[in-house]
Amino acid sequence: MKPTVLILCTGNSCRSHLAEGILHAAAGDLIEVQSAGSKPAGYVHPLAIRVMKEIGIDISGHRSKHLSEFLQQPVETVITVCGNADQACPMFPGQVNRYHWGFDDPAHANGTEEEKLTVFRRVRDEIKMVFQAYAAGRKDQVKRKVSA
């Protein structure tokens, strides 16, 4: 059984879905990647879906979920991507690791659609850099175990 990595944000509409999609693409064969929110918005932001499609990742099938959906299952690692979720984060069964990597909320971007897209792309790219590095570390960890 693959270990579960749960990515938390308050609304589970933007940042956590960007991170879930990127981490799943980068390390999905090693881990089960999920996302949830402490106060789910009830939707995945359309601009988040759009900027992910630009990099070849489809998150259109994602849904906004409450973190309580995961309280009864083993979660190896919890990663919070906003300060509010970090403060509201409970302990999960089997939780070994907890990280907080905060990112700006692109849902609060103002301006024209193109200006908002610029913010979504910037946050996506920041998340991509961090979560691809995390996935690379997980892959290295597996390689070390196999060669040991």
82 has catalytic annotation: yes
Identify the bridge partners of residue 35 per DSSP, sorted by sequence position: 7
- Which member of 6, 9, 78, 123 is catalytic? 9
Catalytic residue among 49, 82, 117, 127: 82
Catalytic residue among 47, 81, 89, 130: 89
Do 36 and 65 contact (CB within 8 A), yes or no?
yes
| Residue whose pair of structure tokens reads 């999960």 in the numeric block | 92
Q: Which SS3 state, helix, strand or coil, does residue 95 take?
A: coil
Q: Which residues contact 143 (CB under 8 A, 6 or more apart)?
A: none
* Beta-bridge partner residues of 44: none
**CB contact at 8 A, 36 and 70:** yes
Cα–Cα distance measured from residue 110 to residue 2, given in angstroms and rounded to the nearest whole number: 40
Determine how β-strand 4-9 pairs with β-strand 32-37. parallel
- Enumerate the active-site residues: 9, 82, 89
